[in-house]
A = this chain, B = another copy of it.
Amino acid sequence: MTRILATGTFDILHPGHLYYLEQARKYGNELYVLVARDSTIEHKPKPIVPEKQRLEMVKALRVVDHALLGSEEDMFKPLKEVQPDIIVLGHDQVFDEKELEDKLQKRGFNTKVVRLGKPHQCTLCSSGRIIKRILERKRTEL
């Protein structure tokens, strides 16, 4: 049994999320997803959808075996519970694989970190692009 962990905000679900989770799941046979807390998202605009709802939607996806919210204090805390064999990063996630793997090792985790390549192109495969389309439509309606 190889346990995979994927992470993200999953603000407005789109096929880019599905692609990431489906590719991640291929590295093992049990997929855990760590959903970022509202309070810890600082490198991009705050999500539109609150964390509990984002978690509920991720849990509803067939490809996901288990989903849980991250920790507000220590990003490594939920990993103690999950004990993943492999963490799969999306192509645009901010962590550096090697650095993360080293940090994990220092904390006693025997976890590999891999990064996915770029997904296939898709017009609305980003929460940001969906938001942009909503704002553009509003502008043309005014």
Please report A residues at the B interface, Cβ cutoff 8 Å.
12-15, 18, 48-50, 53, 56-57, 60-63, 122-124, 130-131, 133-135, 137-138
Contacts and interface: CB of A to CB of B under 8 A. Distances in A.
Copies of this chain, whole number: 2
A18 B12 CA distance: 14
A124 B135 CA distance: 18
A50 B15 contact: no
A12 B48 CA distance: 12
Nearest to A15: B56
The 4 closest A-B pairs by CB, nearest first: A62-B62, A134-B134, A13-B13, A18-B60
28 contacts: A12-B12, A13-B13, A13-B57, A14-B49, A14-B53, A14-B57, A15-B53, A15-B56, A15-B57, A18-B56, A18-B57, A18-B60, A48-B124, A48-B130, A48-B134, A49-B130, A50-B123, A50-B124, A53-B122, A53-B124, A60-B62, A60-B63, A61-B61, A61-B62, A62-B62, A131-B134, A134-B134, A135-B138
